[in-house]
């Protein structure tokens, strides 16, 4: 077994761009500090709506291939060398928004056998042996079928990996505290006249917003704000950035958060409010295997 870095972080996301929006500052911070950061992306986002008019001819597999290039560029901005597609390129297709006929495509992630997909992810866990896993909550943050399925696959993979010899000490879900979101949107409404976006999104449009009391961990990524913004810009088919704001294809402005928030759902917190995803881990847990 090759020697592994002392700190190892695994993130599981649904589509290219999700990682940069949700965790870009966190990923940049930990790679800069020498941790091994591994990203698993479950689909290529072949059904995403394209923003730039000159790229709107891209659909299906062609869009997926282009978005893989965007993901590669984004990971370069964040310093992440280890990023992979679940099961390999094209194994699971984009499922589209909930309730559409795309959900019924047998090749899409929503129709995937969770145990089979989780088994594939568990193999990565056993290779990387992360101490920390980051993914979505059971609703996928906002109800998208691929986000929900990514949650199910990640949580099941953690169970399978534990049965096979590596128990991930800490598992987190992506979150945004409501008070922070409310304050950020208040600033956005004041700044909106000077932005290239016509309207503001609403707080409830932001995935993972919860009561402040549920936040266990606050990662200050201020020093890596430029890297996060650059990674988001790399996903040009999906995101338009006007720091400190951005918009998706709906053209509704929302805040670009450089402090990122998490809820610890498995494992023991290292402090009442953590400032480090690895907080509280004993040195032995860097190489601990499940008994």
- As annotated, the binding site includes 15, 18, 147
How many residues in total does the chain contain? Answer: 291
Look at strands 199-200 and 252-255 and give their pairing: parallel
In this structure, are residues 192 and 244 in contact, taking their beta carbons and an 8 Å threshold?
no
36 in Cβ contact with 79 (< 8 Å): no
d(Cα 198, Cα 158) in Å, to the nearest integer?
Answer: 43
The DSSP annotation for 135-180 comes to E--TTTTT--HHHHHHHHHHHHHHHHHHHHT---SEEEEEEEEHHH
3-state class (DSSP) for residue 210? strand
Contacts of 57 (CB under 8 A, 6+ apart): none
Residues annotated within the binding site for Zn(2+) are: 15, 18, 147
Rounded to an integer, what distance in angstroms lies between the CA atom of residue 215 and that of residue 218? 8
CA 59/CA 111 separation, integer angstroms: 21
Q: Which residues, including other chains, have CB under 8 Å from residue 150's CB and lie 6 or more apart?
A: 12, 13, 14, 42, 109, 135, 136, 140
Alpha-carbon distances, residue 117 vs 8, 16, 97, 150, 176 (angstroms): 22, 18, 20, 9, 28
Q: Are 136 and 151 in contact (CB under 8 A)?
A: yes
CA–CA gap between residue 33 and residue 203 (Å, rounded): 32
């Amino acid at each position: 077994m090759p020697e592994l870095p002392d700190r190892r972080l695994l993130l599981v996301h649904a589509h290219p761009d999700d990682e940069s929006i949700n965790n870009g500052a966190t990923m940049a911070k930990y790679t800069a500090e020498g941790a091994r950061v591994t990203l698993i992306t479950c689909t290529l986002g072949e059904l995403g709506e394209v923003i730039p008019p000159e790229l709107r001819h891209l659909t299906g597999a062609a869009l997926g291939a282009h978005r893989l290039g965007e993901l590669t560029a984004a990971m370069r901005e964040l310093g992440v060398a280890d990023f992979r597609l679940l099961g390999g390129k094209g194994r699971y297709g984009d499922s589209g928004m909930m309730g559409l006929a795309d959900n019924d495509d047998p090749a899409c992630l929503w129709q995937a056998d969770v145990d089979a997909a989780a088994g594939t992810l568990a193999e990565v866990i056993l290779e990387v042996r992360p101490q920390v896993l980051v993914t979505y909550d059971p609703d996928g943050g906002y109800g998208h079928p691929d986000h929900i399925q990514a949650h199910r696959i990640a949580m099941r993979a953690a169970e399978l990996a534990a049965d096979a010899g590596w128990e991930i000490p800490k598992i987190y879900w992506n979150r945004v505290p409501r008070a922070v979101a409310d304050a950020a949107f208040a600033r956005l409404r004041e700044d909106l006249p000077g932005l290239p976006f016509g309207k503001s999104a609403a707080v409830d449009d932001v995935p993972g917003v919860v009561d402040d009391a549920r936040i266990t961990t606050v990662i200050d990524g201020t020093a890596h704000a430029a890297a996060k913004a650059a990674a988001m810009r790399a996903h040009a088919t999906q995101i338009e950035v006007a720091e400190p704001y951005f918009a998706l294809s709906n053209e509704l402005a929302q805040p670009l958060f450089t402090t990122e928030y998490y809820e610890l759902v498995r494992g023991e917190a290292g402090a009442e409010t953590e400032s480090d995803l690895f907080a509280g881990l004993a040195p032995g847990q860097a190489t601990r295997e499940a008994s």
